[in-house]
Chain A
């Protein structure tokens, strides 16, 4: 298992170089799988019946479960953001679990992925704050007095940083630990000990970090809109 992110190609656009890394390829693979699955669901949805059963039941249960989770965490007025948060949840979860597939590096163990998602959350926080609270939101940066502006700004900027580093740190730590374990254990138990650790680092930590990232994002966004005060 490689800890570092390898580059497989470079696309040059003038003076800008875009590296095609392990992460990029992993993301494309995950995107391909998820889009193929979504197309499959779309085709199957044409034959969905009034009384769900089997596959339809499972899909409906997943969407309904996520809807309830979003409603409980962010409130019913934030349900229109379900499309985005559903994608983030599924993407992070599959990315974290992709560490179970040999040769695949979890995209979430790359800071550019986690900070990208965290920055989108950060932008959503600002947009929702201004949309729902307008001047009051901007005024909240100088509360309780103007001197607190730098502290409030740092607090605000700390959100995407903490969000992104939490997920990145956990997944990278898991990757490093697994690499060390694979390097240390003798060949004859290479399929026993790592398997148990994969369950912890990839499945348990992966699920937990997905849940934490999404819950915090939803809470920050709904908090900025101050819907809890209504």
Chain B
């Protein structure tokens, strides 16, 4: 299985195996092995390590960007919410002001209407009282007139039956003089 590659000169036989040795061959082996590992490093770096690292780096940058964007959007949303809350507070304050004004106006209107109604009621009551008084006086006069008429009629009938002409004249005269006396006194 063993073979000898001759590039320059001829090696007669394979050297014996060994575990360890400080000689020229060790230096050659060190150089050869180091070159092998350096070549391997080049391949692994170019084919495996660098592409995967680039993917990870890109993803990291992307996630960082997204996080930053999310943070900015969060900040914007917070500002919007604060604005909204401020506006809501203003609206609330405005509502309270309007309600206060409306309450004040309503109270004022109520008071004015009540006062007007009271005044009107007073006026109506006064008018009614006056009307009642006038009606009362009129009824009193009517009643007095009716009593007088009835009394006169009764008196007339009674007189026509009971008294004669002289008595009638005397009574008439006495009554007239009484009436005159009353009229003068009043």
Contact = CB atoms under 8 A, between A and B. Distances in A.
Contacts of A172: 19
A37 interface: yes
Q: Binding site of B, secondary structure by majority: helix, strand, loop or mixed?
A: helix
A6 B51 contact: no
Contacts of A185: none
Interface in A62-102: 63-64, 67, 82-84, 86-88, 90-91
Interface in A1-21: 2-21
Interface in B68-99: none
A78 to B, nearest CB: 14
Q: Binding site of A, secondary structure by majority: helix, strand, loop or mixed?
A: helix
Contacts of A38: 43-44, 47-48
A59 B5 contact: no
Interface stretch (B28-36, B113-121, B163-171): B28-36
A16 B28 contact: yes
B25 interface: yes
B42 to A, nearest CB: 9
A137 interface: no
Interface string B1-43: 1111111111100111111100011101111111011111101
* Interface size grouping (class) on chain A: 35 or more
A70 to B, nearest CB: 11
A230 interface: no
B50 interface: yes
Contacts of A91: 37, 40
B33 A87 contact: no
A119 B30 contact: yes
Interface of B: 1-11, 14-20, 24-26, 28-34, 36-41, 43-45, 47-53, 55-56, 59
12 contacts: A5-B17, A5-B19, A6-B17, A7-B17, A8-B1, A9-B4, A38-B43, A39-B47, A60-B56, A87-B37, A91-B37, A117-B37
CB-based closest 9 A-B pairs:
A112-B29, A38-B47, A83-B45, A87-B41, A116-B34, A38-B48, A4-B17, A6-B17, A42-B47
Interface of A: 2-21, 23-24, 27-28, 31, 34-35, 37-39, 41-42, 45, 48, 50, 59-60, 63-64, 67, 82-84, 86-88, 90-91, 107, 110-113, 115-117, 119-120, 172
